Homo-oligomer: A and B are copies of this chain.
């Protein structure tokens, strides 16, 4: 039996543990926990469909109750803003406040990671990304978990013209930058098997 998957898991967990420690370090000034940094990072990358407590809970693998508490804290600290959705008034929408934006910009939580990957060729990184991405997709299928992803590669993504896009599921028009954010309604487009490219 091949034990490589096992080893891969070990690496993923260890790296994640180290980043968690790193998050703790950079956020100790603000009295924040690692999970708060993750939450802020998520919000910095979420689009209009995924900027809700529900989606965040799914993304972080936590319950909605737990996430709700963390959001209360972040709100008290003035790092995020919460506002009601116009159409569905049960829904709470989230965004980074100016202070939250500033925190992410200054603390640079991923700096250590950027450094750690500096010697690895972009190609090897892309290969690793593609393998992990596929792992994640399968994982989510297995657990009936919702998928997250960027418009590029999503079934619902439609290109109206060179600079105009649309989400076929929601019917909304999307700005260029918004198609780069993390969406909750992501559905993998017909899956051709990707194989690693050479360097």
A interface with B by C-beta (< 8 Å): 2, 4-21, 38, 45, 59-62, 110, 112-136, 138-139, 142-143, 145, 148, 195-196, 198-199
Which residues in B have their C-beta under 8 angstroms from that of A115?
A: 138-139, 142
Contact A196 B198 (CB under 8 A): yes
In the bound complex, CA of A14 to CA of B5 (Å):
17
Report if A13-B16 is in contact (Cβ < 8 Å); known contacts: A125-B131, A128-B132, A132-B128.
yes
A116 CB, nearest partner CB in chain B, Å: 4
Q: Are A122 and B7 in contact (CB under 8 A)?
A: no
A61 touching B20, Cβ below 8 Å: yes
Measured CA separation A12–B113 after assembly (Å): 11
Q: Are A138 and B118 in contact (CB under 8 A)?
A: yes
Contact B127–A196 (Cβ < 8 Å): yes
Residue from B8, B17, B127, B128 in contact with A117 in the complex, judged by beta carbons closer than 8 Å: B8
Partner of A139, one of B8, B15, B138, B145: B15
Label chain A's interface by main secondary structure.
helix
CB distance B196 to A15 under 8 Å? no
21 contacts between A and B (CB under 8 A): A2-B122, A7-B129, A9-B110, A11-B132, A12-B12, A12-B19, A12-B132, A15-B136, A16-B17, A17-B61, A18-B143, A112-B142, A113-B139, A115-B142, A116-B138, A117-B135, A124-B131, A124-B195, A127-B196, A195-B199, A196-B199
User: How far is B4's CA from A126's CA once the two chains are assembled, in angstroms?
Assistant: 6
Q: Which residues of B contact A20 (CB under 8 A)?
A: 61
- How far is B20's CA from A120's CA once the two chains are assembled, in angstroms? 27
